[in-house]
Amino acid sequence: MANKLDIDHLTSFSPLDGLKTDTLRSILHKIELLEANRGQALFKKGDKEKRTVYLLSGMIELKDGEEVVKTIAGGTDEARNPIAPTLPRPQSAVAAGDVKYISIDSDVLDVTLTLDQTGIYEVGDFSTEQLKETGDWMTAFLHSKAFQQIPPANIQNIFMRLQQVNYKAGDVVIKQGDEGKYFYVISRGHCRVTRETPLKREGIYLADLTVGDTFGEEALLSEAKCNATISMQTDGSLMRLGKSDFQALLKEPMLEWLDKDEADKVVAEGGQWLDVRLPSEFKASHQDGAVNIPLYLVRHKLNLLDPGTKYVVCCDTGRRSSAAAFILKQKDFRVVVLKGGLNQGGL
């Protein structure tokens, strides 16, 4: 219903009034237009959902239990600001009659404000559809559960340091065997992943990637050569983050490292070892009950893993396992990493 919202009307709300018109238009389809009848709650006391809510029309009551703490009417100065923005919500917001209100993801709004006000969010050359995709990649990137572990200041710095690079269909972004230099997020267009093998030099197809998908982290985390080729299927744009920024802002906050005793305890309590070395290494020696999925196949074998199981990811040194754990975290799996790897007394 967001397409029924009027841009000029939205600029009467704070801090939406601080966004450039083109920037606000780029996130318009992310803003929900909602209705509530008398007695219905817009949100309840204790809610932790990251949504910024504004009252368009009608009247609401902010209630602590049965006590009405405050009433707010649409169109007033007080209604220009988000309703009870503190999390968890200190009161419930209940419709006193028929009301209309809007809701937007708070992280999307905050990052959009940051990019807009630092001059990084350049949207002037984009079409309406491209503007929507720009909002989509940010939303997809932010909504990964792994991001809940990253400090807000890091998230802001990530978006401030991302660089936009444009590509044409057929361009090779990463070539198998290259040194890893960047972490990439697809902001517009589609990419294809292929891997060269001794029997197929032109490469075997592994996957297609679209807006919001990421790549390049394996080489950065494992400090190894890139294990696949990524090429553009269409014209598009990628946002990239340099190696040092990636290590400081993304890698460290996302990964949880355990020593051998701690890892054994996780497995004893229902977890499972996930060995991401090559099959030949796994065959030579491995933890009892371990599952073997080589790092280069992790993205493509997620269906073999149980989302309800906590995995202890391991390799020989910790490099490949940290890369695999990063990928799995982004896909909402519960993972920890064996500190130092199996060569540090793990076997």
Angle ∠(297,137,190) on CA atoms, nearest 5: 55
Measuring CA to CA, how many Å separate 120 from each of 107, 138, 162, 321? 17, 13, 9, 34
The pLDDT of residue 318: 86
The pLDDT of residue 146: 58
> Per-residue confidence of the chain (347 residues) as pLDDT tens digits?
344 677 888 888 988 887 888 778 877 888 999 999 999 999 999 999 989 999 999 999 999 999 999 999 999 999 999 999 988 999 999 999 999 999 998 877 877 776 666 554 444 444 445 445 555 677 667 666 556 667 766 777 787 788 889 999 999 999 999 999 999 989 889 999 998 887 777 778 888 998 888 888 888 877 778 888 999 999 999 999 998 888 888 777 778 899 999 999 999 999 999 999 989 899 988 999 999 998 888 988 999 999 999 999 999 888 888 888 888 987 889 999 999 889 875 55
- Write down the residue that tokens 């169109």 correspond to: 75
Whether the CB-CB separation of 165 and 242 falls below 8 Å is answered with: no
CATH node for 255-344: 3.40.250.10
Which residues of the chain form beta strands (DSSP E)? 32-36, 41-43, 51-57, 59-64, 67-73, 92-95, 99-105, 163-167, 172-174, 182-188, 191-197, 200-209, 214-215, 229-232, 236-242, 257-258, 272-275, 291-292, 310-314, 334-338
The pLDDT of residue 271: 96
Which pairs with CB-CB distance under 8 Å and at least 24 residues apart come from 199-203? 203/176, 203/229
- How many CB atoms are closer than 10 A to CB 249? 21
3-state secondary structure of 98: coil
The pLDDT of residue 166: 94
Indicate where the chain has its CATH 2.60.120.10 domain(s).
2-105, 144-250
The pLDDT of residue 319: 81
Q: Whose CA is closest to 134, among 158, 107, 164?
A: 164
The pLDDT of residue 123: 41
CATH of 2-105, one of 3.40.120.10, 2.60.120.10, 3.20.20.140, 2.60.120.380: 2.60.120.10
The pLDDT of residue 117: 60
How far apart, in Å, do the first and last CA atoms of the chain sit?
57
Indicate where the chain has its CATH 3.40.250.10 domain(s).
255-344
The domain covering 144-250 belongs, at the CATH homologous superfamily level, to: Jelly Rolls (2.60.120.10)
The pLDDT of residue 329: 86
